[in-house]
Structure 1
Amino acid sequence: MHELSDLWQAVERIKRNFPWYAELSGRLQGNTAADLRWSSLPLVTSSLLEKHYYTEHQPLALRPDVHCYKTSGTSSGRRKSICYSPADEDAYVRIKLDVFRSILGDCGFRRALSDMGTGHAEATAVEVFRRLGMEVESVSFRLPIEHHLERLAAFRPEVLYTMPSILERILLASSDPASYGIRHVILVGEIASPAWKERAAQKLGLGAERITDTYGSIEIGTIAYYDHSLGRYVFAEGLFAEGIAAEALDGNFEPLPEEERVLVLTSTVREAFPAVRYVTYDVVRDLRTTDVDGVPRQSFHSVVKRIGPDLKHGEKISIYDIEDVVFRYVKEASVRVRINGNALALHIYGPPLSAAVLAGIRHDVENRIPEIGIMIRSGILDGIQVVGETFDDAEHRGSVKSKKIAYEDADSINGQGGSA
């Protein structure tokens, strides 16, 4: 847990670097940590960042010592630029090293493969593994899946650092994933449900504890990692977390279930991004302080979805929960969620599924996920369509992140194969 003085120093640093933030927070009374009323600090929302940070004339981007990374894309289709100062870069690598050491322990791994997308995680992965004393190779997600399989077979990495969508492609395209000799998988970038991770571990011939999820963002860096002994995500160094009710953030958002909150983060190490009460728009379950080896640490059970004004029904639909249902029926698949108007379709790419299995998945999604059941009964959704499709890697490698809700024209919802 952080001392209030650490948080106050973070506020002062951001005020110096961002005059617009200093103006917004100028209403605070007092100038010491004891006088700070934390809840009166402004929330750094997407609208504030669009107005003041994600601009063409961002002063930090002009500094030669500052690194800028592009997001993989937004709902508006415009990529955003996130800045890191030299101190930010040093802190990012140091924290990631500490997290990876916690995950891998003293296992003596010698080789790692970084099979990633784009952005900060991809740009620093090789350096982090080399600092851990490992030989490392990197593969681009844009390459055909056959190239990924060739590198896995030839290099035989003991550690695979990748995204759930990329690991899905590997598992679906490989006849024997366990033959690559992978001993630990570290995931990043997308939501991965427990059932999905369990199935992936089985395909790789691993115990469930050998697939470890990490959670991060380009704005903050590494945020948390899954602690298998606790069954929870533990926050990384330098972060203070708050849980905000959705309707308190925006009156247009509907209330979340009691145990869910929108995650708001303050970083005590970031200086080239206004990470003071930064609204992630990610929804976490059971955010609380946990005892870790005698030390109080903030933690949460899971990240279940994102909210936002551009997501339409997305604030009520959890891909985390949908995947957890699907993978209780199937051993291997790639799940995509698509919405058009009031129609929601689940496309399940993989081996052929019987009509009974598709019907079972539909029944459980409609009846075991309360938010979806309520939307159907109230007429917001016209029921669920479940479509079985043949996996074609060429259709999946165009986007680095596939585990998200896609909004499409009605004509594109109908897929090949049976549906229930």
Structure 2
Amino acid sequence: MDQWKAKLIEVGETYPWYTGLLGGRQAEEFGSLQELPLITSAVLEAHYYHQTPDPALAVYRTSGTSSGRRKAIFYSEEDDRRYVEIKTRLFGKLLEGSGCRRALADMGTGHAASTATAIFDRLGLDNRSISFELPIERHIEALTAFRPDLLYTMPSILDHIVYASGDPRAFGIRKIILVGEIAPPQWQRNMAQLFGLDSRDVIDTYGSIEIGTIAYYSHDIGRYLLVDNMIAEGIGTKELGEALEPLGADESVLVLTSLVRSMLPALRFVTYDVVRDLRPVIVDGVEKMSFQSIVKRVGRELKHGEKISVYDIEQVVYRHLEDAMVRVKMHNNALVVAIQSKSATEEAARIIQKELGECIPEIGLMIQNRLLGNIRVTLLPEGERMENGQVKNKKLYY
């Protein structure tokens, strides 16, 4: 039996409501995975996110959805065990030959943060963790005192560390593993230089609280590679049926089927993340699914969101500024890019503003067609609080 078909039977047994989406068909009547319904946010809102929690399950809650209610995602002991095993194997591979002995998890909340120390323990690493809710000065103190070889963190937090430290090289960090937000290649190269590292020592990973670990960036291949037991598809916005604008020719919405996740109907789960150039590649004689980059998210609540890529905007900013914290927001139908950087100048801001319209065709065309007002790049003075102080802030604000 195909693995996805066995998963279909399992999901139907665990979630009786799922069988109602199949139009009366039995598992053996489906000839391909693509015949199954998509698990969209609307489906999960109706049947999953707000169900009465089983006390035997761990519950992780995320930020509010379009309904205004926080999403609840459930993990069984088996889910947690598999999650830790997958991530331990991945981290062991990424750290091979690095000589790392000490690790600091400087994270947000959620599943990745809560399991980090267990993963480091399995790898035999002396480890500590620090909450993102503490002032940045405490983060600097922890890095200075503990001097970790490995820093496991989020791009936004790393931005704050760089901005608040005199010399990031002084921490003695050997490897940086990222999770949680978009990390454009130019930004990664800038970070490596600021910390005195080779660009290969900054490694981006990609996951979600619903699915778990999804992919990691391979410097050898120059692409993101999906982890084992994950089936990926790319679909267009039309298939979502949510009146979204079409994507670029090489872009698709990532849809995932996890063969190891049990307490989620992880069959054709729609991530709403847009990836570029999704295709299989051969790695060590084995075919693996891969993509070039994650560029944006789409959704019904995002006006123009399917066209505006924070990834592309940050690529332009980081070509001109090595150290910068960036917020992208829509205000009165105009795109505002707020930048806080020790090295920023008004001249750099003017160049960035000019290039944003020229280098990102989608934005330039929207301005030309009067769907979007002119771009405005603003420089924020040192110490001024940026728009929205949340940890996960690499997104489009309104």
TM-score normalised by L of structure 1: 0.92
What percent identity do the matched residue pairs reach?
49
Q: Which residue, out of 372, 384, 406, partners 2:397? A: 406
Question: Could you say which residue in structure 1 is the equivalent of 2:106?
Answer: 115
Question: Could you say which residue in structure 2 is the equivalent of 1:322?
Answer: 313
Partner AA of 1:22 in structure 2: T
Question: Could you say which residue in structure 1 is the equivalent of 2:268?
Answer: 277
Give me the whole-angstrom Cα distance separating, in 1, the residues matched to 2:384 and 2:17: 46
Give me the whole-angstrom Cα distance separating, in 2, the residues matched to 1:211 and 1:81: 31
Question: Could you say which residue in structure 1 is the equivalent of 2:41?
Answer: 46
Is 1:388 the counterpart of 2:383? The answer is no
Is the Cα–Cα contact under 8 Å of residues 110 and 158 in structure 1 kept in the other structure? yes
Is 1:20 the counterpart of 2:17? The answer is yes
Is the Cα–Cα contact under 8 Å of residues 275 and 293 in structure 2 kept in the other structure? yes
Give me the whole-angstrom Cα distance separating, in 2, the residues matched to 1:116 and 1:76: 27
Aligned pairs for 1:365-376 within 5 A = 365-376=356-367
Distance 1:198 1:235, change over 3 A: same
Q: Which residue, out of 67, 88, 93, partners 1:97? A: 88
Partner AA of 1:8 in structure 2: K
Distance 1:116 1:393, change over 3 A: farther
Is the Cα–Cα contact under 8 Å of residues 181 and 394 in structure 2 kept in the other structure? yes
1:318-373 deviation digits (Å, cap 9, x = unpaired): 01100000011111110100102311100001125333211110111101011111
Question: Could you say which residue in structure 2 is the equivalent of 1:418?
Answer: none
Partner AA of 1:16 in structure 2: E
Partner AA of 1:39 in structure 2: Q
Distance 1:313 1:397, change over 3 A: closer
Q: Which residue, out of 2, 5, 8, partners 1:5? A: 2
Give me the whole-angstrom Cα distance separating, in 2, the residues matched to 1:163 and 1:385: 27
Question: Could you say which residue in structure 2 is the equivalent of 1:151?
Answer: 142
Is the Cα–Cα contact under 8 Å of residues 244 and 264 in structure 1 kept in the other structure? yes
Give me the whole-angstrom Cα distance separating, in 1, the residues matched to 2:395 and 2:86: 27
Distance 1:246 1:339, change over 3 A: same
Give me the whole-angstrom Cα distance separating, in 1, the residues matched to 2:104 and 2:387: 20
Is the Cα–Cα contact under 8 Å of residues 234 and 297 in structure 1 kept in the other structure? yes
Question: By how many angstroms is 1:26 displaced?
Answer: 4.6
1:104-127 deviation digits (Å, cap 9, x = unpaired): 113231100000000000010010
Aligned pairs for 1:290-301 within 5 A = 290-301=281-292
Question: Could you say which residue in structure 2 is the equivalent of 1:410?
Answer: none
Q: Secondary structure at the match of 1:373?
A: helix
TM-score normalised by L of structure 2: 0.97
Is the Cα–Cα contact under 8 Å of residues 8 and 27 in structure 2 kept in the other structure? no
Is the Cα–Cα contact under 8 Å of residues 336 and 377 in structure 2 kept in the other structure? yes
Partner AA of 1:48 in structure 2: V
Question: By how many angstroms is 1:30 displaced?
Answer: 5.9
Q: Which residue, out of 189, 193, 196, partners 1:198? A: 189
Question: Could you say which residue in structure 2 is the equivalent of 1:364?
Answer: 355
Question: By how many angstroms is 1:37 displaced?
Answer: 3.1
Partner AA of 1:219 in structure 2: E
Is 1:311 the counterpart of 2:302? The answer is yes
Question: Could you say which residue in structure 1 is the equivalent of 2:337?
Answer: 346
Unaligned runs of 5+ in 2: none
Partner AA of 1:15 in structure 2: G
Is the Cα–Cα contact under 8 Å of residues 136 and 160 in structure 2 kept in the other structure? yes
Question: Could you say which residue in structure 2 is the equivalent of 1:416?
Answer: none
Give me the whole-angstrom Cα distance separating, in 2, the residues matched to 1:30 and 1:122: 37
Give me the whole-angstrom Cα distance separating, in 2, the residues matched to 1:68 and 1:341: 38
Give me the whole-angstrom Cα distance separating, in 1, the residues matched to 2:360 and 2:192: 25
Give me the whole-angstrom Cα distance separating, in 2, the residues matched to 1:147 and 1:393: 19
Is 1:63 the counterpart of 2:55? The answer is yes
Q: Secondary structure at the match of 1:328?
A: helix
Give me the whole-angstrom Cα distance separating, in 2, the residues matched to 1:184 and 1:158: 6
Q: How many residues align?
A: 398
Is the Cα–Cα contact under 8 Å of residues 29 and 36 in structure 1 kept in the other structure? no
Q: Which residue, out of 215, 219, 231, partners 2:210? A: 219
Is the Cα–Cα contact under 8 Å of residues 172 and 391 in structure 1 kept in the other structure? no
Give me the whole-angstrom Cα distance separating, in 2, the residues matched to 1:198 and 1:120: 28
